[in-house]
Structure 1
Amino acid sequence: MKTRLRPADLAREHGISTQAVRNYERDGFLPSAARTESGYRVYTEVHAAALRAFLALVVAYGHATAGGIMHAVHADDVERALTLVDRGHAQLTRDRETLNAVRTAIGSLPVAAIPEPATAGWSVGELARRLGVTAATVRAWERAGILGPGRNPATGHRVFRTADIRDAELAHLLRRGGHPLDHIATVVGQVRTAGGTEPLAQALATWQGRLTARGLAMLDAAARLSAYLASRP
């Protein structure tokens, strides 16, 4: 096994610059390199394993978390490193749950039945009566960030239009399914960002693909991190 490596050797494997390798060492993402008498860095297979682990972690968890994991490892705080890994997996699980909730919600929402309100929009009471809930419930959804109705400039009263009614229908459906308000806010936000349920339905396959890619990246990162931990003195 080759034990003495130059910055160029590490850089070439990943298609990055030698300066990037030196920067990663400076930032603590790689262990410190030994130096020759003339001041040149001398890397080893341990440094190569560290670089593979760090770059894989960046893909899986993002630069900040990847850096935090490597800093924890180099501080001999493996528990901290594993906690950061666990948080990434927990976030992926939450994202999968959100995706499934969105898919279920938009598949069950009676979009065609959503009426177009009058020009002035619906009041809190009118929306509450449509859904069979109390006006206080509608206001609670607004406080949770699920609904964002406009206001009548003359009276200051809430005005709910078609998009607001769609969001309220989603909220009502998800609440009946037992989802907490913060989860519902995330789902409704996804629908709102996509511009409606139909564009969001078309984007679900892409969203699923991103989650799958992230999960596979986490598997790869875990293997490379494990290999690096095993290679350390």
Structure 2
Amino acid sequence: MPNPPERLTSAALGRLVGYSPQQVRDLERLGVLPPAARDPNGYRRWTKEHVVVLRAYRALAAAIGPVPARRLLPVLRTSPLAEAAGQVDELHASLARERARVVEALRGLAVVVGEPDLPAVEGDAMTIGELAQALDVRPSALRHWERAGLLAPRRAAAARRYDPPAVAAARVVAALRSGGYPVPTIARVLDELARHRTTRDAQDLLDARLSDLARRSLALLEAAAALHAFLSARAEPGRRPGEGSAEPRPPA
């Protein structure tokens, strides 16, 4: 990839990454790009450092979405370097947690349709706190899903208790809600599970969620080069973007 010139207009910077001049200016306004220097006539003048940041943003947006990328890039740009590197690590960890959540939901489908009419066994039930911890959600989320008709825990002395079928249903809800599926879609899937003992719709949605997570993982791996260049430029402010680190000096 050819090196960009030392000074760039908004249009030239945008062309390097496939953005319009207005998109470049908007990203500066949102704090994604550091402020550009201004010529006496008011025109912005961008540098190679801005190219590195913008390429990192574009790669990150492809992996996690434009809105999360717009929130995260200013943090990566301004926080201590160790914290910024940790934030990138957390992106990979978050995808792994989401994938594990979907896999557990798929495993739980058999519980939902297996033998839901067996008598409840107290030792097999979970409290709302235990289930929230297992799903990595807030207890308020479980109460919200209950009010929406997605979950139906039994009550014991005014406390909610979640038997294995309710736990399995909650795993399905958590996996689909984290993927952005709306409540009516999830309600339809759970109704199919309850009424017809079929898992086809749930499996289709969860499989689609797994495919999306795989796509995002690959996009994040593809973004690694741009993020490495971005964080390396932060680690070595004097190094020109795109250049490798200096060769280690031999011992005296």
Structure 1 and Structure 2 fold alike (TM over 0.5): yes
| Alpha-carbon shift at residue 203 of structure 1 (Å) | 2.4
User: Normalization by structure 1: what TM-score?
Assistant: 0.66
List gaps (5 residues or longer) in structure 2: 132-141, 177-184, 194-198, 238-252
Deviation sequence 1:160-184 (CA, Å, 0-9, x none) = xxxxxxx955356x6xxxxxxxxx7
Relative to structure 1, is the Cα distance of residues 168 and 189 closer, same or farther in structure 2, using a 3 angstrom cutoff? farther
| Alpha-carbon shift at residue 209 of structure 1 (Å) | 1.0
Greater gyration radius: 1
| Alpha-carbon shift at residue 212 of structure 1 (Å) | 0.5
Q: Aligned equivalents of 2:50 and 2:124: distance in 1?
A: 57
Residue 82 in structure 1 maps to residue 85 in structure 2: yes
The residue that corresponds to 1:225 in the other structure is 227
Relative to structure 1, is the Cα distance of residues 60 and 137 closer, same or farther in structure 2, using a 3 angstrom cutoff? same
Relative to structure 1, is the Cα distance of residues 77 and 171 closer, same or farther in structure 2, using a 3 angstrom cutoff? same
Q: Aligned equivalents of 1:189 and 1:74: distance in 2?
A: 32
Question: How many pairs were matched up?
Answer: 194
Q: Aligned equivalents of 2:174 and 2:29: distance in 1?
A: 40
| Alpha-carbon shift at residue 29 of structure 1 (Å) | 1.0
User: Normalization by structure 2: what TM-score?
Assistant: 0.62
Relative to structure 1, is the Cα distance of residues 190 and 89 closer, same or farther in structure 2, using a 3 angstrom cutoff? closer
| Alpha-carbon shift at residue 36 of structure 1 (Å) | 2.1
Identity %: 32
Relative to structure 1, is the Cα distance of residues 101 and 42 closer, same or farther in structure 2, using a 3 angstrom cutoff? same
1:109 alignment partner, SS class: helix
Matched AA of 1:185:
A
Q: How does 1:46-85 map to 2 (within 5 A)?
A: 46-63=49-66, 65-75=68-78, 77-85=80-88
Matched AA of 1:19:
Q
Tell me which of 193, 200, 203 is aligned to 2:202: 200
Q: How does 1:140-159 map to 2 (within 5 A)?
A: 140=127, 144=131, 145=142, 148-149=151-152
Q: Aligned equivalents of 1:141 and 1:28: distance in 2?
A: 40
1:208 alignment partner, SS class: helix
Q: How does 1:155-174 map to 2 (within 5 A)?
A: 168-171=163-166
